[in-house]
Chain A
Amino acid sequence: MPTLLSVFDRPQDVAAVVTKLKGRGFNDLETYSPAPFEEIEDAVDPRPSPVRLFTLIGGLAGVVTGFAMQIWMSLDWPLKIAGKPYASIPPYVIIGFELTILFGGLLTLVGLLFVGRLYPRFRLDPAYSMRFSAEEFGIVVTCKDRDVSEVDALMRSNSAKEVSLVDA
């Protein structure tokens, strides 16, 4: 199936086009943008990013690990220190807190890599080019041969600078 790439200047246009495309059932599309623009991202997929789940899980894991580790280690070989209880909770809050942050942060990163499908690679999408890391926007639509003209028209009618077939 053919893949069309269209290039825009204004984020609003991109958002508009994406909405229209999806309206017409062209769901196999992707956008490239040089900077984050909520309107585009919501147009492509209105659902909130699952990254937040990772953060939550990480944080919970951290606080549990933190307290569990400290309490267990203090009781594993109980030594009297300055007349304090072997496992005294107040001082343990600090490390519990730090581990919450640490695990939360690390899992958030994992979330980003997972959700954003980020991994070291040299092969990028054929449609991607450095102009999208400049100041231009792109939309890639894959559609059936018979729809090509329709999509093309729709793009151009929405102030696409250029529309081209990505050679497959």
Chain B
Amino acid sequence: MTPPPPATAVADMAQSSPAFQDSKINRDILNPTRYVSLPWLGLLLLAVLGVGQAVFSLGYQTYVGLGVAGYQAPVFWAVYIITFVFWIGIGHAGTLISAILFLFRAKWRNAINRGAEAMTVFAVLTAALFPLIHIGRLWKFYFLIPYPNQRGLWVNFKSPLLWDVFAINTYMTISIVFFYVGLIPDIAVARDRSTGLKRVIYAILCLGWQGTSGQWKAHTRTVLHLSGLATPLVLSVHSVVSWDFAMSIIPGWHATIFAPYFVAGAIFGGFAMVLTVMIPSRRIFGLEAYITDYHFENMSRFILFTSWIVGYAYGMEYFIAWYSGVEAEQTSFFLRAFGPYWVSTWIMISANCIFPQLLWFKKLRTHVPTLFVLSVIINIGMWFERYVIIITSTSRDFIPGAWGLYIPSPVELSILAGSFCWFAMFFLLFIKFFPIIAITEVKELAIHEKYGGAH
């Protein structure tokens, strides 16, 4: 049997025949991790500052009380929940690309799925903060967890909010697992090409990956199963989020269309966010060879398609409100379009239904600057979609005598801004230390192209 291998120290593992030439793919993709670029440093600094100011605002809010936010009865949910739904939605595109497209064997995903998965993880990490920021007694957040306590109290499993707790945590865990499993072989690649502390860390993270047949077999199988699990999960998670609203009785919320409507909206907004983050990173790290306009075009197709689903949902909400014959519903939707919040409503409609129609033209689908601007517009539109759903519905509900208005407060806006910085911070750190493109998957394709073979 195999004799025990000689003690090869970490440092020696880099040894190889002098004739060896590392592959271009490795060099290109690992390139960003080799040096610190100034724009990257600047962005990171900004992000960290942004997070800092948000933490201060949160401290102030927690100390003084939620009153520093703009809540005005009957609007008891506002920016925090809006932003929560927004980020959860962002996350979905990543899972869709990495899991669903994987199951459909859409090979074009390979170049973008790593970035998309990273985006998912960080978006969910951002979203998960907001329920805590939102609650009135942050220091009692653990009441939401069913843990044995001497009060003998358990949580209410009938509450959509508790479904949220489970859905979000499951989603966060599975996304991270999925993300990490995909990373293992690539970290091994990075390990073999780095020295010193970096190498030690990589060595630990890649769990001694060597790409043996057994490892690959288990790995492919694991990715397959995780995709199989993640696909229904991603659909369920945003359905559950949508049920926070659909399960309640408020006109404008109490609608059965919400689950599919929210899922579609999530994918729509998520793809836009993928574009928003990938276009600059591709530019900064010169990865044009791997992330091509072809990928962007495919994503724009998705965006165009989902924008129609979302548009259909908008229309259907109004139709049902009219068709139901319920005055409260009709009023709620009439005032949504022509009431005090008409501006946000029309921002939502134009950004999510009208602008995306530009993508009918191939010229624009392949014109990167246009795509970038459009993706930003869509992100704004999707944030306003949640704003409209939450604020307009609650501010005009069943008791006209209790109707009111809501205006966001500076504290809320600062925390909103902070959430974007928080997300950006993670993403920037990620692209600095990990391959932003799935090396092995790209390689798999490359080798197949080079030598042909099965598949």
Closest chain A residue to B208, Cβ basis: A121
Q: How far, in whole Å, are A56 and B429 apart by their CA atoms in the complex?
A: 36
CB distance from B66 to the nearest CB of A (A): 25
B215 within 8 A of A: yes
- A123 on the B face (CB < 8 A): yes
Of the listed stretches B219-227, B402-410, B413-421, name the one at the interface; the rest are far from the partner chain: B219-227
CA of A153 to CA of B340, assembled, Å: 84
- The reply to whether B229 and A104 contact each other, CB–CB distance below 8 Å, is yes
Within 8 A of A (CB), among B192-227: 192-193, 200, 203-205, 207-222, 225-226
Q: Report the Cα distance A16→B167, complex, angstroms.
A: 47
Given contacts A35-B443, A118-B208, A130-B16, contact A81 B214 (CB under 8 A): no
CA–CA, A9 and B212, complex, Å: 16
- What are 15 A-B pairs at a CB distance below 8 A? A9-B451, A31-B213, A34-B447, A37-B454, A49-B221, A98-B240, A101-B170, A112-B181, A117-B214, A118-B209, A120-B203, A122-B10, A123-B7, A125-B5, A125-B210
Q: Which listed residue, A12, A40, A76, A92, touches B451 by the CB 8 Å rule?
A: A12
Q: Compute how far the CA of A82 lies from the CA of B188 in the bound complex, rounded to whole angstroms.
A: 55
Task: Determine the residue in chain B with the shortest Cβ distance to A51.
Answer: B221
Chain A interface: which of B148-156, B302-310, B360-368, B391-399?
B148-156
Known: A92-B157, A112-B219. A32 touches B1 (CB 8 A): no
8 Å CB interface, A44-90 against B: 44-45, 48-49, 51-52, 55, 59, 69-70, 73-74, 76-77, 81-82, 84, 88
Would you call A121 and B203 a contact (CB within 8 A)?
yes
A116 to B178, CA, bound (A): 16
Contacting pair A116 B215 (CB below 8 A): yes
Flag if A105 contacts B166 (CB, 8 Å). no
Contact of B451 with A102 in the complex, beta carbons under 8 Å:
no
- Does B162 sit at the interface, judged by CB under 8 A? yes
**Once bound together, how far apart are the Cα atoms of A60 and B222, in whole Å?**
17
Contact of A113 with B157 in the complex, beta carbons under 8 Å: no
- Bound complex: CA of A133 vs CA of B107, how far in Å? 21
The complex places the Cα of A28 from the Cα of B146 at a distance, in Å, of 51
Q: Which of A128-144 contact B (CB under 8 A)?
A: 128-135, 142
* Residues of chain A within 8 A of B240, CB atoms compared: 94, 98
* Known A1-B1, A118-B208; further 11 A-B contacts with Cβ < 8 A: A33-B216, A38-B454, A81-B158, A88-B158, A102-B169, A108-B226, A112-B181, A115-B214, A115-B218, A117-B208, A118-B209
A44 near B447 (CB under 8 angstroms)?
A: no
Docked Cα-Cα span, A51 to B219, in Å, equals 9
Chain B residue numbers with a CB within 8 Å of A84 are 158
- Report the interface size class on chain B: 35 or more
Pair A98/B453 contact, Cβ less than 8 Å: no
The contact of B218 among A3, A104, A116, by CB within 8 Å, is A116
CA–CA, A70 to B417, complex, Å?
Answer: 38
Interface 1/0s, chain B 138-178, versus A by CB < 8 A? 00000000100000111111100011001101100110011
Complex interface: chain A residues within 8 A of B211 (CB): 32-35, 132-133
The answer to whether B163 and A95 have CB atoms under 8 Å apart is yes
A15 CA / B7 CA spacing, docked (Å)? 30
Q: How far is the CB of B137 from chain A (nearest CB, A)?
A: 20
B158 near A108 (CB under 8 angstroms)?
A: no
CB of B119 within 8 Å of the partner chain: no
Question: A36 at the A/B interface (Cβ < 8 Å)?
Answer: yes
Asked if B170 and A98 make an inter-chain contact with CB atoms under 8 angstroms apart, the answer reads yes
Do A130 and B192 contact each other (CB < 8 Å), given the known contacts A95-B162, A119-B208, A123-B7? Answer: yes
Residue A23 CB within 8 A of the other chain: no
Contact A91 B158 (CB under 8 A): yes
User: Within 8 Å CB of A92, what residues of B?
Assistant: 157
Known: A33-B213, A44-B214. A77 touches B167 (CB 8 A): no
Known A101-B233, A123-B7; judge A41-B1 contact (CB<8 A): no
* Nearest CB in chain B: distance from A115 CB, A: 4
In this assembly, does B440 line the interface, its C-beta being within 8 Å of a C-beta of chain A?
A: yes
Is the beta-carbon distance between A94 and B163 smaller than 8 angstroms? Answer: yes
Could you say which of A30, A77, A94, A130 contacts B14, with CB atoms under 8 Å apart?
A: A130
